[in-house]
Each structure stands twice: as structure tokens, then as C-alpha cells.
Structure 1
């Protein structure tokens, strides 16, 4: 019977944020479908024009989700039965704008968007421009960690580590984002009229990944 040792390797990497992503949501609603689409088109044009004015390319804003659906309200009739009444069409457009992290540039973008006629919901996240480098580093760390553990266990048990037989890895996408939250409520966001002077430094991005290794024992 073949003797083996199975070890889980753990890779840990900490990195500084060098990229910022603005996640934006535009919404238009009207009882007439054509008016909803006209409003949605106008909203996007206004947003793009405001960003063009500070040096972004026309195609810098990317669509991440686009949907049009019907909206209804519910109410109870005189017989205490729930009824639905059509309230309009809704066009929801989710977008993102990504650029190299620079506090002055970020502040300029926020002020510009705040002064844009189009109302939008905004979320800001800090990440890295090249997550592949972090993924590669995690895998190397996990492999080194697993082999070190296996060698220590074999040494303590009076046996020798043989050939590597199996590597089992889950290829799920990693969450390579800083935990730093950078938010404004609707009113304070609309009050932005000059570049904020707040100097922030996003928290490091700490990520961890694992892989399972099986070696022969000789």
C-alpha cells in the first residue's frame, strides 16, 4: 500500500492599493418606454461629457450591467386581496470607471461627477491594477509553505519525503480589494464644490489562498 502525506499550503500576500474603481448606478423611470430610454441615454451622455472635460477618454466608462424592467406597486382592494398596479418602466445602468490611484485625481473626479446634472449612486473601491501578480505570489507562497510543512512532518516522523503526486487547487476568483471604505451620503456628495483636502491612505490589501499537496513517503 502506497504511503502518502497530505498537506495544505497557505499563501499570504499584502499589497498596497494602486488602482481605484468607481462603481456607478444610473436609474431612469417613466410610464412610457421611449421616454425611459431617452432619459437613460441622456444620463449616460451627461456623465461621459463631464468626464471628458477632465481628460478621460470617451470609452473610459464601462457598462457592467444594463437592464430594463417593469415596476409595480401592491395594494389591498376592498376584498382584502392584493393587487398589482403598473407604475412604469425602469432602466438601470451600472457602470465603472477605473484609473491609477492618485488622491488629487480621485478628488477631481468626485467633484466633477457631483456637479454633473445626472443623479447617480456611487461606490468607491481600492484595488491593484495587476491582480495576476498577487495570484502568482500566493500560489508560490502556498507551494513553499506546504513543502516546508511536509518536510518537517517527515523529519519528525523519521521518514523521507518522496515524489509529489497530487496538487489540488480551487480556482475561485480572489477578492483583491482593500477594506477601506470611502463614501459620501447623497447630500454631502452634492455639496462637493472644490477638491477635498483630506489625505487618505487606503489600507493594505491582505489576501490568502490555499492549495492541497500530496507527496509519497519513502
Structure 2
């Protein structure tokens, strides 16, 4: 069974499902989750409508720099309880970037089950800008609208990354993944994978509407004054 597949139906959720993880038990948060989902739906729909002209400009610029590839990059990610879904971004890399990843694995700058490279040669000139400002992440508003993601939560990982998770790490899958979270406003790519996991689990333990709003406001500031983003 491959750890990653471009065909969503070939990914088996049971390979990644969370079972019997008790270090960070979820208290009764039914009211919180209901309010959170209503806020996610309303905010994402409003943002998509308002940003539509801006999205069109970004799409044109992407096509002008690299006409061969699509405007949007979609990738299978693992969501809550191991459920796979398609996550969307504005394409920031050359059209054959996925084919070149194996040649770059030995240059990974993050320890653990994640690949990050500051000067990734696959990133386009426009891609560097939209990554640094997090503009490339804006299409995930569609994922939020659909319910695959939330505005706030642990970042969704690739199937091949989740396959390397320890039992402790897999607790990240207890909640719906998000566009932003504690580690995105606490150092971003400057953190190790272990530090990212600790911040995600801290969020799971302390999640509330008040915390979500604070993280969204901090994320806006991070987008305006980016640091350790690549």
C-alpha cells in the first residue's frame, strides 16, 4: 500500500486513524464546536466573496510566470481522525515540483516527519512572495467552507508524514486541522517538528473561541510582518 497517492480513493483512512489516545482528552466541547463551525462557514464564505478579484489577479500572475502548470495546487492531506481530503493552495512551485522532491530529501531543514527547505529551488519568483506573505494559503478558505478544515487548528500533514508519526504525535489528528494555529504565530518554520507537535497539543487541550480569535488576529499580524516563512 503506497503512503501517498494522487488518487484520493486509494488512501486508506484506517491507516492513520486515532485510537485510544488519552494524553490530551477532549472535554465536552459540543457547544464550542457548533459555534466554531458556524464561524468558520460564515467567515470563509465572506472572505471568498470579498477576495475573488484578488484571487483572479494572483491566478493571472501565476499563469504569466509558468503557463504550463495549473493555478491551484491540490494535495492529499490527512484530517480529523485520519480522514484524507484534497487541500488547495495557489501554486508556488514549478509545474513538476512533486517529481523532484526525492532529490531534495537529504536537504530537509526540519527534524521529524516534515519537509521544509528555505531555499527550495522548485519555488518560483512569485511563489517566494506569496509564500512569505501566506497568500498561497488563501484557497484553503474553500476547505474551511467545506468543513475539511477550520480557520484554527493543527496544520494537516501529508499521508507519508503521518505514517512516520509516533503514538504521541498522532494526537494531532484528534481535531479538525486548521489554516493557522499556535505554531504558525510562534516561529513558523523556525520551529522543530517536536516543538510544532507540542504547540498543537497545547491548542487541543486549551481550545476555545477566545483563543481562536486571538490566534486569527495574531495570524493577520504575522502575514503583514512575515518571519521565518518560506
* TM band (smaller chain): under 0.3
The structure where helix makes up a greater share of residues is 2
The structure where strand makes up a greater share of residues is 1
Q: TM-score scaled by structure 2?
A: 0.23
Bigger RCO (CA 8 Å, 6+ sep): 1
Which is greater in Rg?
1
